Amino acid sequence: MTTSEFNAEYKLVEDLLFGFAMKLTKNKENAKDLMQETFCRAFKNKDRFSENTNFKAWITTIMRNNFINDYRKSKTRNQVMASVDDFSYFIENKAGADNGDSVIMMKELNGMVGELSDELRQAFSMFVNGYHYEEIAEKANVPIGTVKSRIFFARKKLRASIKANYGMTSFTRA
Protein backbone atom coordinates (compact mmCIF):
# COMPACT_ATOMS: atom_id res chain seq x y z
CA MET A 1 0.00 0.00 0.00
CA THR A 2 1.40 3.38 -0.96
CA THR A 3 1.32 6.44 1.26
CA SER A 4 -1.36 8.14 -0.83
CA GLU A 5 -3.55 5.00 -0.78
CA PHE A 6 -3.11 4.75 2.98
CA ASN A 7 -4.06 8.41 3.50
CA ALA A 8 -7.13 8.06 1.29
CA GLU A 9 -8.33 4.96 3.17
CA TYR A 10 -7.61 6.59 6.52
CA LYS A 11 -9.62 9.72 5.64
CA LEU A 12 -12.63 7.51 4.85
CA VAL A 13 -12.65 5.90 8.32
CA GLU A 14 -11.27 8.75 10.42
CA ASP A 15 -14.62 9.78 11.94
CA LEU A 16 -15.53 6.17 12.66
CA LEU A 17 -12.15 5.66 14.36
CA PHE A 18 -12.65 8.72 16.54
CA GLY A 19 -16.03 7.42 17.66
CA PHE A 20 -14.49 4.03 18.42
CA ALA A 21 -11.64 5.70 20.33
CA MET A 22 -14.17 7.73 22.37
CA LYS A 23 -16.08 4.54 23.16
CA LEU A 24 -12.89 2.89 24.40
CA THR A 25 -11.37 5.78 26.35
CA LYS A 26 -14.46 7.83 27.33
CA ASN A 27 -12.24 10.92 27.20
CA LYS A 28 -11.69 13.29 24.27
CA GLU A 29 -7.98 13.89 24.89
CA ASN A 30 -7.23 10.20 25.42
CA ALA A 31 -9.22 9.40 22.28
CA LYS A 32 -7.09 11.86 20.28
CA ASP A 33 -3.92 10.26 21.69
CA LEU A 34 -5.20 6.81 20.79
CA MET A 35 -6.05 8.01 17.26
CA GLN A 36 -2.56 9.40 16.79
CA GLU A 37 -0.90 6.28 18.14
CA THR A 38 -3.08 4.09 15.92
CA PHE A 39 -2.29 6.22 12.87
CA CYS A 40 1.46 6.01 13.53
CA ARG A 41 1.43 2.26 14.09
CA ALA A 42 -0.79 1.60 11.07
CA PHE A 43 1.31 3.87 8.84
CA LYS A 44 4.51 2.19 9.98
CA ASN A 45 3.02 -1.22 9.13
CA LYS A 46 1.12 -0.21 5.98
CA ASP A 47 3.18 -2.69 3.95
CA ARG A 48 1.66 -5.50 6.04
CA PHE A 49 -1.87 -4.57 4.97
CA SER A 50 -3.17 -7.15 2.52
CA GLU A 51 -4.70 -5.69 -0.63
CA ASN A 52 -8.41 -6.35 -1.20
CA THR A 53 -9.10 -6.77 2.52
CA ASN A 54 -11.11 -4.60 4.89
CA PHE A 55 -9.02 -1.54 5.85
CA LYS A 56 -11.55 -0.47 8.49
CA ALA A 57 -11.35 -3.83 10.27
CA TRP A 58 -7.55 -3.82 10.06
CA ILE A 59 -7.12 -0.34 11.55
CA THR A 60 -9.80 -0.79 14.24
CA THR A 61 -8.02 -3.97 15.32
CA ILE A 62 -4.80 -1.98 15.62
CA MET A 63 -6.65 0.64 17.68
CA ARG A 64 -8.23 -1.95 19.97
CA ASN A 65 -4.87 -3.68 20.51
CA ASN A 66 -3.19 -0.32 21.26
CA PHE A 67 -5.87 0.47 23.80
CA ILE A 68 -5.54 -2.94 25.49
CA ASN A 69 -1.74 -2.69 25.61
CA ASP A 70 -1.89 0.82 27.08
CA TYR A 71 -4.44 -0.31 29.66
CA ARG A 72 -2.25 -3.22 30.72
CA LYS A 73 0.81 -0.97 30.94
CA SER A 74 -1.01 1.57 33.08
CA LYS A 75 -2.36 -1.16 35.34
CA THR A 76 1.15 -2.58 35.85
CA ARG A 77 2.61 0.91 36.29
CA ASN A 78 0.06 1.66 39.03
CA GLN A 79 0.94 -1.55 40.86
CA VAL A 80 4.66 -0.83 40.66
CA MET A 81 4.17 2.74 41.85
CA ALA A 82 2.04 1.50 44.76
CA SER A 83 4.79 -0.92 45.75
CA VAL A 84 7.40 1.83 45.62
CA ASP A 85 5.16 4.13 47.65
CA ASP A 86 4.63 1.44 50.28
CA PHE A 87 8.39 0.88 50.50
CA SER A 88 9.15 4.59 50.70
CA TYR A 89 6.91 4.80 53.76
CA PHE A 90 9.30 2.49 55.60
CA ILE A 91 12.32 4.47 54.46
CA GLU A 92 10.79 7.78 55.55
CA ASN A 93 9.84 6.41 58.97
CA LYS A 94 13.10 4.57 59.61
CA ALA A 95 14.47 7.53 61.55
CA GLY A 96 11.78 7.02 64.19
CA ALA A 97 12.67 3.33 64.51
CA ASP A 98 15.84 4.10 66.48
CA ASN A 99 14.02 5.63 69.39
CA GLY A 100 14.70 4.53 72.95
CA ASP A 101 11.82 2.05 73.21
CA SER A 102 12.89 0.07 70.17
CA VAL A 103 16.53 -0.01 71.35
CA ILE A 104 15.43 -1.39 74.72
CA MET A 105 13.12 -3.91 73.06
CA MET A 106 15.93 -5.10 70.76
CA LYS A 107 18.23 -5.58 73.76
CA GLU A 108 15.51 -7.58 75.50
CA LEU A 109 14.89 -9.69 72.40
CA ASN A 110 18.61 -10.37 72.02
CA GLY A 111 18.64 -11.38 75.69
CA MET A 112 15.80 -13.83 75.02
CA VAL A 113 17.77 -15.35 72.14
CA GLY A 114 20.77 -15.57 74.49
CA GLU A 115 18.69 -17.60 76.96
CA LEU A 116 18.13 -20.36 74.39
CA SER A 117 20.23 -23.52 74.64
CA ASP A 118 23.47 -23.44 72.64
CA GLU A 119 22.11 -25.81 69.98
CA LEU A 120 18.90 -23.81 69.45
CA ARG A 121 20.67 -20.44 69.58
CA GLN A 122 23.32 -21.45 67.05
CA ALA A 123 20.80 -22.83 64.53
CA PHE A 124 18.41 -19.90 65.00
CA SER A 125 21.11 -17.21 64.82
CA MET A 126 22.63 -18.68 61.67
CA PHE A 127 19.20 -18.94 60.06
CA VAL A 128 18.36 -15.33 60.94
CA ASN A 129 21.71 -14.25 59.48
CA GLY A 130 20.81 -15.79 56.12
CA TYR A 131 22.38 -19.24 56.20
CA HIS A 132 20.52 -22.04 54.44
CA TYR A 133 19.47 -25.20 56.25
CA GLU A 134 22.18 -27.18 54.43
CA GLU A 135 24.91 -24.78 55.53
CA ILE A 136 23.73 -24.85 59.16
CA ALA A 137 23.54 -28.66 59.10
CA GLU A 138 27.07 -28.90 57.70
CA LYS A 139 28.50 -26.51 60.31
CA ALA A 140 26.70 -28.23 63.23
CA ASN A 141 27.37 -31.70 61.75
CA VAL A 142 23.71 -32.74 62.12
CA PRO A 143 20.98 -33.74 59.64
CA ILE A 144 18.86 -31.02 57.98
CA GLY A 145 15.76 -32.27 59.81
CA THR A 146 17.48 -31.61 63.14
CA VAL A 147 18.33 -28.07 62.02
CA LYS A 148 14.70 -27.44 61.04
CA SER A 149 13.45 -28.73 64.40
CA ARG A 150 15.95 -26.62 66.33
CA ILE A 151 14.84 -23.50 64.47
CA PHE A 152 11.20 -24.44 65.04
CA PHE A 153 11.71 -24.94 68.77
CA ALA A 154 13.76 -21.74 69.05
CA ARG A 155 10.91 -19.80 67.46
CA LYS A 156 8.40 -21.49 69.73
CA LYS A 157 10.37 -20.58 72.86
CA LEU A 158 10.94 -17.01 71.68
CA ARG A 159 7.23 -16.66 70.91
CA ALA A 160 6.40 -17.81 74.46
CA SER A 161 8.97 -15.40 75.96
CA ILE A 162 7.61 -12.46 73.95
CA LYS A 163 4.07 -13.29 75.02
CA ALA A 164 5.14 -13.57 78.65
CA ASN A 165 7.14 -10.33 78.65
CA TYR A 166 5.00 -8.16 76.38
CA GLY A 167 1.63 -9.89 76.38
CA MET A 168 1.58 -9.86 72.59
CA THR A 169 2.46 -12.10 69.70
CA SER A 170 2.39 -9.56 66.87
CA PHE A 171 6.03 -10.32 66.06
CA THR A 172 5.13 -13.84 65.08
CA ARG A 173 2.79 -15.63 62.73
CA ALA A 174 -0.49 -16.91 64.11
User: Does one domain contain both 65 and 46?
Assistant: yes
Q: What is the pLDDT of residue 78?
A: 60
Question: 173 in a domain, yes or no?
Answer: no
Q: Answer yes or no: do 103 and 140 share one domain.
A: yes
In a shared domain, residues 30 and 78: yes
pLDDT at 93: 52
Within-domain flag for 174: no
pLDDT (0 to 100) of residue 174 = 41
Judged by DSSP in three states, 142 sits in coil
pTM over 0.95: no
Residue 130 falls in which region: left (phi positive, over 0), alpha (psi -120 to 50) or beta: left
What is the rounded CA–CA span in Å between residue 18 and residue 34?
Answer: 9
**pLDDT at 141 (0 to 100):** 92
Specify the pLDDT at position 143: 92
* Residue 122 lies in domain: 98-166
Looking up residue 24, the CATH number of its domain turns out to be 1.10.1740.10
- Per-residue pLDDT tens listing for the chain (174 residues): 788 888 888 898 899 989 998 998 888 998 899 899 988 998 898 888 888 888 899 899 999 998 988 888 777 766 555 544 454 455 455 555 556 666 777 788 788 888 888 888 898 888 888 888 898 999 989 999 999 999 999 889 888 888 887 776 555 444
pLDDT at 148: 92
Q: To the nearest 5 percent, what fractions of the chain are helix, strand and coil?
A: 80, 0, 20
